[in-house]
Structure 1
Amino acid sequence: MTARTLPRVLTAAATTLLVLAGGTACSTDVAGADPDRVDVVAAFYPLQFVAERVGGDAVTVTNLAKPGAEPHDLELNPRQVGQVSQAELVFYLKGFQPAVDEAVAQNAADRAFDVTGVAPLRDATAGGHEHEHEGEADHAEEEGGGKDPHLWLDPTRLATVADKLAERLGAVDPDRAADFTTRARTLRSELEKLDTEYAVGLKTCQRREIVVSHAAFGYLAERYRLEQIGLTGLTPDTEPAPQRLAEVAREAREHGATTIFFETLVSPKVAETIAAEVGAKTAVLDPIEGLSADGGGDYLSVMRTNLTSLRTALGCS
């Protein structure tokens, strides 16, 4: 047993006893089962994607948010709290999932990698046509100081997160630090290629405004000179106020929007209502907060599907 694995084994044993005492243990799904791999708990899908790509076969990655589930409102069960307690590294984004923040603070503060520490988050309402309806500003403050957490929709930012994760994994497992760095460089190359595809694909378009059901696309809009018009703010299941619906409908007509975007994990009903009112169609623009329940594709393929949808909606040449 190595010096690296001993603290993990002791922690795992203690946590397992606690979970068993509560009658909620699940012996077949416990982090720390493989002493030859670094146990990483990822808070939601984009972080899982990065951890798996950078860690490769040197890590075991557990995603707290299940496919098909909306990750904003994730509630952790005792087994998941145990996974956080046992993990050698918890990869999360502070302010995005309050239950994860609490579990990290109580059980893994010294083993957590917070993505918000990599680079400053943008303001939730910065730039473009991103307006707040009544009560939204206060809610944004509750979600983390009015900051937009969806940084992974800018591939260049996600590449920087991958670089920093490689450094952190290297500190946990120095023997494989060079491997983590190499894989992060490979992922960076793929993300930079994706960034170029977006820049070229969205360079010449008839319109630059995107009407979306959930204002998750601020980083994408900022990177590729688009303007986001959101039906709701940072929380996807917020019911938009009637005045906000009227305002979005007006802006959609002004900009000649042909498409109202909705997302995979949230009901399309509001988007369909606006689309019918302004004579537009609806289409999916995926914020990639999680994969759909069928698990098809990965971050890169979904981003490329999004690019195709944007090019069609915006009339790009």
Structure 2
Amino acid sequence: MRPLLALSLIATPAFAEAPRVLTDTPVTQSLVAQVMGDLGTPAMLLDQGGDPHHMQFRPSQARALSGADLVVWVGEGLTPWLGEPVETLASGAVLTLSEVEGLHLRAFGEEAADHGHDHDHDHDHDHEGHDYDGHDHDHDAHDHDDHGHEDHESHDHEHDGHDHVHSGLDPHLWLDPGNTVIWLETIAETLGGLDPDNAMVYEANAQAAIDTTLSLQAELALQLAPASGRGLVMFHDAYGYFAETFDLSIVATITGGDATAPGAARLSALRSELQEEGAVCLFPEANHSDDFARVVIEGTEIRLGAPLDPAGVTLEPGPMLYRDLLRNLAQAVADCVEG
């Protein structure tokens, strides 16, 4: 892996121990934990069982943010409540995963299609399909005093009310394992830049995690092959990357990208829509009532699948969480489609 140039621009502190790393959500924590291995355990801001899209920031979390040597988060599109705290409180390096170059990106509501993204990831981890070697990570991790962001007041994100309109970039990028491969390498490069003495350990750990991720992707592709072309309905608009990677057909979602409860008119229109689309399975979601799902499928032949957990908020945090998350999603879809 190439050195992370962004970190060469700032003073690199000498760490007697591994850097103190703070992550946003269980998936990010899992990926960083895989890269850190026995050198340290990254902390996490989101409580187990919490909603990544909606959370009240607490004073204890502010202290953790200001004391971290490195903050790793997906970005404000996933956790709008965290945007301003990262901007104003983080004193160490910040790695915004959604801004890493070479990722496969999609917009909310974008239908699964061939976007020139090689879902086979048939490479030697050089990421040719992502143009990964063609960029220098200059913006991926940086000293927080040199963010160069716009004034946050101009964004009108309304953090207190979390009135965050989900349009534009779909931030659930980890549901494409190809994006995760790039993130793992970037995390290793970032940690190696902060902690040069252990750079080779981070690199080796990342490579092992990459190998496991790509093997798992191939395994799940076989498992999900029978589900290809079958009409699936999801609770919220979070599964586009997963559908594109594994050639699944999502015909509708009950709610938008932030899992806001749907109204009666939406539910009524959805029932008619699903009958026309030939939907086979509808999946509720962990941490949300399945009442809406049951209302939608009432009087139809659509099967109710197991609750999905696309962010891993109900799983045991740690290195295995990301793999467990993907396995659980694939198993739920396969089981429901098979009937």
The two structures share one fold, judged by TM-score above 0.5? yes
> In terms of mean alpha carbon deviation, does 225-234 or 289-298 score higher?
289-298
Identical counterparts, % of pairs: 27
Q: Deviations over 1:238-294 (max 9, x none)?
A: 122334323322233234434210111222111111122323332235243233277
What is the match of residue 151 of structure 1? 173
Q: Deviations over 1:169-201 (max 9, x none)?
A: 000101111111111111111111121122222
The answer to whether 1:301 aligns with 2:324 is: yes
Question: 1: distance between equivalents of 2:309 and 2:91?
Answer: 28
Show structure 2 runs of 5+ residues with no match.
1-11, 114-161
Asked if the contact 2:104–2:179 (Cα under 8 Å) also holds between the matched residues in 1, the reply is no
Distance 1:234 1:293, change over 3 A: same
How many residue pairs match? The answer is: 275
What is the match of residue 121 of structure 1? 105
Distance 1:167 1:274, change over 3 A: same
Bigger RCO of structures 1 and 2 (CA < 8 A, at least 6 apart): 2
Taking only aligned residues, the RMSD between alpha carbons, in angstroms, comes to 2.6
What is the match of residue 85 of structure 1? 66
> In terms of mean alpha carbon deviation, does 142-151 or 269-278 score higher?
142-151
> Within 5 A, what are the aligned runs for 1:117-196?
117-118=99-100, 119=103, 121-128=105-112, 142-143=164-165, 146-196=168-218
Question: 1: distance between equivalents of 2:109 and 2:37?
Answer: 37
Q: Deviations over 1:93-112 (max 9, x none)?
A: 22221222111100226511
Distance 1:232 1:165, change over 3 A: same
Q: Secondary structure at the match of 2:292?
A: helix
Q: Deviations over 1:9-38 (max 9, x none)?
A: xxxxxxxxxxxxxxxxxxxxxxxxxx5121
Q: Secondary structure at the match of 1:168?
A: helix
Distance 1:109 1:233, change over 3 A: farther
What is the match of residue 111 of structure 1? 93
Question: 2: distance between equivalents of 1:305 and 1:103?
Answer: 32
Residue identity opposite 2:62 in structure 1: V
Asked if the contact 1:46–1:288 (Cα under 8 Å) also holds between the matched residues in 2, the reply is no
Q: Secondary structure at the match of 1:277?
A: coil
Q: How far apart are 1:311 and its partner, in Å?
A: 1.5
Q: Please give the TM-score of this superposition, normalised by the length of structure 2.
A: 0.74
Asked if the contact 1:45–1:288 (Cα under 8 Å) also holds between the matched residues in 2, the reply is no
> Within 5 A, what are the aligned runs for 1:1-317?
3-5=13-15, 36-95=17-76, 96-108=78-90, 111-118=93-100, 119=103, 121-128=105-112, 142-143=164-165, 146-205=168-227, 207-228=229-250, 229-236=252-259, 238-292=260-314, 298-315=321-338
Question: 2: distance between equivalents of 1:281 and 1:205?
Answer: 14
